């Protein structure tokens, strides 16, 4: 009887330890995920954009296909968003290029513009009435 009681207590202790272990692992997983989001420099993962690049995604929240990954060479450099994979589809952008980026709603840097400052992230271009509008872009010294 005595050993049975001890075994029950052991099971409770083991159960408690297992639960504590789960909590710690979850905490570590969250920490690792946050660190990864901050330090990833490949510019491929959804929601990330490497230093020196301008990135654009088809969905809000930097999701869906990443149609634009551009590393402008300097002020005045231009970029043509692909007519099939990108034109009139970009909904979120991150500008880590070191320049202002002027988006145009027509090919060849024509039409109406939206200038996105260096270091700016726009979760949903609809905020600026620019959802699914960008067709080309140009690096500028400032917005
Ligand atoms: Ca879109
Ligand atoms: Ca285009």
Rounded to the nearest angstrom, the distance between the alpha carbon of 91 and the centre of ligand 1 is 4
CA dist 114 and 52 (Å) reads 19
Mark residue 47 as left, alpha or beta (left: phi above 0; alpha: psi -120 to 50; beta: remaining).
Answer: left
Give pLDDT tens digits for 12-58. 544 444 444 343 333 333 333 333 344 444 444 557 999 999 999 99
Q: Which ligand is nearest to the CA of 80?
A: 2
Nearest alpha carbon to residue 78 among 135, 20, 8: 135
Task: Look at 37-41, 75-79, 90-94, 139-143 and tell me which has the smallest mean pLDDT.
Answer: 37-41
| SS3 state of residue 87 | coil
Q: Which ligand is nearest to the CA of 107?
A: 2
Rounded to the nearest angstrom, the distance between the alpha carbon of 136 and the centre of ligand 1 is 15
Q: In this predicted structure, what is the pLDDT of residue 42?
A: 42
Phi and psi, residue 91, nearest 5°: -120, -25
Are the beta carbons of 100 and 127 closer than 8 angstroms?
A: no
Rounded to the nearest angstrom, the distance between the alpha carbon of 62 and the centre of ligand 1 is 10
Q: Which ligand is nearest to the CA of 81?
A: 2
Rounded to the nearest angstrom, the distance between the alpha carbon of 112 and the centre of ligand 2 is 13
Q: In this predicted structure, what is the pLDDT of residue 85?
A: 92
Q: In this predicted structure, what is the pLDDT of residue 56?
A: 97
Q: In this predicted structure, what is the pLDDT of residue 77?
A: 98
Q: Mean pLDDT, to the nearest integer, of 78-98?
A: 97
Domain spanning 54-140, CATH class: mainly beta
Task: Look at 36-40, 89-93, 124-128, 130-134 and tell me which has the smallest mean pLDDT.
Answer: 36-40
pLDDT, mean over the chain: 80
Between residues 123 and 7, the one the model is more confident about: 123
Neighbours of 9 (CB within 10 A): 10
Q: In this predicted structure, what is the pLDDT of residue 139?
A: 98
Rounded to the nearest angstrom, the distance between the alpha carbon of 20 and the centre of ligand 2 is 54
Q: Which ligand is nearest to the CA of 68?
A: 2
Beta strands in 14-62 (DSSP E): 54-59
Nearest alpha carbon to residue 45 among 65, 31, 70: 65
Q: So where are the chain's domains?
A: 1-39, 54-140
Q: Which ligand is nearest to the CA of 111?
A: 2
Q: Mean pLDDT, to the nearest integer, of 71-91?
A: 97
């Amino acid at each position: 009887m005595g050993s049975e009681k001890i075994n029950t207590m052991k099971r409770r202790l083991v159960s408690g330890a297992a639960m504590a272990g789960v909590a710690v692992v979850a905490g570590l997983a969250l920490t690792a995920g946050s660190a990864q989001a901050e330090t990833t420099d490949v510019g491929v993962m959804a929601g990330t954009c490497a230093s020196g690049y301008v990135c654009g995604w088809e969905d809000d929240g930097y999701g869906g296909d990443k149609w634009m990954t551009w590393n402008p060479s300097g002020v005045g450099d231009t970029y043509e968003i692909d007519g099939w994979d990108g034109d009139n589809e970009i909904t979120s952008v991150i500008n880590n290029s070191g320049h202002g980026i002027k988006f145009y709603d027509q090919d060849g840097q024509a039409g109406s513009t939206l200038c996105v400052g260096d270091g700016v992230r726009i979760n949903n271009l609809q905020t600026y009435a620019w959802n699914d509008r960008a067709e080309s872009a140009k690096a500028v010294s400032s917005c």
